[in-house]
Amino acid sequence: MMINIFLKCIFFFAFLHPTYANNDLQAERDKIKSERNSLAVGWRDNLDFKLPKPGSYKLYNIRESGNGKVIDEKGKEIYLHDAMKGKITLLSFIYSNCTDTNGCPLATSVFYKIQEKLKNNKKILSKLKMISLSFDPEYDTPEVMSLYGKDLSYIDAEWSFLTTNSMDSLEPILENYDQPVIRKYKNDGSYDGVESHLLRVYLIDDKKLIRNIYNVDFLHPDLLINDIKTLLLNNG
């Protein structure tokens, strides 16, 4: 069984990485792809509807984005807003042990696909920042986040994998972004990790205003790229 699971792991990443090809594995890959197609829209290659033309609609100012101290992959403490570098930012809260297919893996997969789809569009890519921030600092040390993100951001995209130094640092950030998390507690009341979370990805403009919030029903790379283009067009 473990061999089977291991093989499926390989197939999973093969799906994430289109450059990896093995004809012998095609059937299994198709099976996994089929399963995924019955899941969230973000796992599908194409949206089922035609998107409005970029710039033809308005992305409203939802509110100011939150700030707070975070730690980068090298263990350096920085402010979340500084990590955005004045660019259009996609921010996702994740944790490395996430087991919800339509949660963190989906968000990470969508970010990965965005950079792939934009890899020949340096103009947009140069104005985009992607941040995956852990909401489980107990387990996700900078080393773990570095490992999680290693090689995922291999194109010219700026994609940071951040964490915080404690729950005390993290909670105000989660509160500001209204990022819901259900945490597990043992019957003696001690912390037992993350149970589940409501997937949210935030589109933040260069003035640090939240301009869209996506959950599993909206999180598709084509839709996010459409919104990024809209922000760039609206900003002239």
Partner 1 sequence: MYLRKFGISILGAVAFIFSSLSFADETCMSPYMAKIVGQEDYVYVWTLGVEGLGDEQDKLVTIDVNPKSKTYAKVVSVLSVGGRNEAHHSGLSDDRKYLWAGGLDSNKIFIFDVHSNPRKPTLHKVITDFVEKTGGVVGPHTFYALPGRIMVSGLSNNTDNGGRTALVEYNSKGEFIATHWLPTDGDLRGAKKTGKYADGYGYDVRVQPRRNIMLTSSFTGWSNYMMDFGQMLQDGEAMKRFGNTMVVWDLHSRKPKKVLDVPGAPLEIRCAWGANNNYCFTTTALTSKIWLIYEDDNGEWQGKAVADIGDPAKVPLPVDISITSDDKGLWVDTFMDGKARYFDISDPHNPVQVYEEQIGSQVNMISQSWDGKRAYFSTSLLGNWDKTGEADEQWVKLYDWDENSKELTNKWTIDFYKEKLGRAHQMRFGAYSLYSSTTDNKKAVTLLDK
User: Which residue ranges make up the site for partner 1 (CB under 8 A)?
Assistant: 5-6, 8-10, 12-13, 16-17, 20, 32, 35-36, 38-41, 47-49, 51-52, 56-58, 60-63, 96-103, 105, 147-152, 178, 180, 182-187, 195-200, 202, 210, 213-218, 223
Task: Give least dist CB 231 to partner 1, A.
Answer: 14
CA distance 71 to 144: 12
CB burial of 206-233 (b: ≥16 within 10 Å; e: otherwise) equals: beeebbbebebebbbbbbbbbbbbbbbe
Between 123 and 187, name the residue whose CB sits nearer to partner 1.
187
CA distance 116 to 90: 15
Task: Give least dist CB 95 to partner 1, A.
Answer: 10
Between 56 and 126, name the residue whose CB sits nearer to partner 1.
56
For strand 128-134 and strand 88-94, is the pairing parallel, antiparallel, or unpaired?
parallel
Instruction: Tell me the β-bridge partners of 79.
Output: 69
Task: Give least dist CB 142 to partner 1, A.
Answer: 15
Between 28 and 77, name the residue whose CB sits nearer to partner 1.
28
Task: Give least dist CB 81 to partner 1, A.
Answer: 18
Between 129 and 197, name the residue whose CB sits nearer to partner 1.
197
CA distance 179 to 198: 7
Between 82 and 155, name the residue whose CB sits nearer to partner 1.
155
Report CA torsion sign: 33, 36, 42, 48. Answer: positive
CA-CA distances (angstroms) from residue 23 to 8, 45, 84?
A: 15, 20, 40
Q: Which residues contact 189 (CB under 8 A, 6 or more apart)?
A: none
Task: Give least dist CB 12 to partner 1, A.
Answer: 6
Task: Give least dist CB 45 to partner 1, A.
Answer: 14
Between 56 and 121, name the residue whose CB sits nearer to partner 1.
56
Look at phi and psi of residue 42 and say left if phi exceeds 0, alpha if psi is from -120 to 50, else beta.
Answer: alpha
